[in-house]
Amino acid sequence: MIRLVPMDETTFQFFITQSTRDYAEDKIKTGAWDAEIAMQLSKEAMSKYLPKGLHTEGAHLYSVVEEETGTQAGYIWFNVTEGHRSREAFIYDIYIFEPFQGKGYGKQALLALDEEARKMNVAKIGLHVFGQNTRAFELYKKMGYLVTDITMSKEL
């Protein structure tokens, strides 16, 4: 139903704009960043993890494409590094566009990612999910991801 297609430069420009904005908004929602500086901090984070954009070594950026129509249904970005005992991937962003949400595309994208990671001799995949994103959290649990750390806070 879907396949992962390496991003081209045009798609990457769309991705980086949306991902930067979404990350800033998520950080504001959690109370981690003030709205006035969130976009600047988000841009700095993106520059840190994608210093050469689409051509950053170890970064893998894909469009999630519906096979039947060729329509882009979302995107996924993960990096691969050498871990303590094996190669590890870390998902920095996965997003399924609204019209495609709730139809199994996220699950399919994660399964396709598993296949890509295996081809790269990756033995472990990690990710971060914001606490308020219960939909994604539930999907990750269904897909076999285990909680490895929990950070909590409260406003006084």
Distance CA 75, CA 12 (A): 10
Per-residue model confidence (pLDDT) at position 132: 86
Distance CA 66, CA 48 (A): 31
Per-residue model confidence (pLDDT) at position 76: 98
Structural tokens at position 43: 């841009």
Per-residue model confidence (pLDDT) at position 1: 86
Structural tokens at position 71: 């329509």
Per-residue model confidence (pLDDT) at position 150: 82
One-letter amino acid for residue 109 of the chain: A
| pLDDT tens across the length of the chain (156 residues) | 899 999 999 999 999 999 999 999 999 998 899 999 999 999 999 999 999 999 999 999 999 999 999 999 999 999 999 988 899 999 999 999 999 999 999 999 999 999 999 999 999 999 999 888 899 989 999 999 999 888 877 778
- The single-letter DSSP state of residue 67 is T
- The single-letter DSSP state of residue 29 is H
Supply φ then ψ for residue 72, to 5 degrees.
Answer: -70, 125
Supply φ then ψ for residue 66, to 5 degrees.
Answer: -70, 120
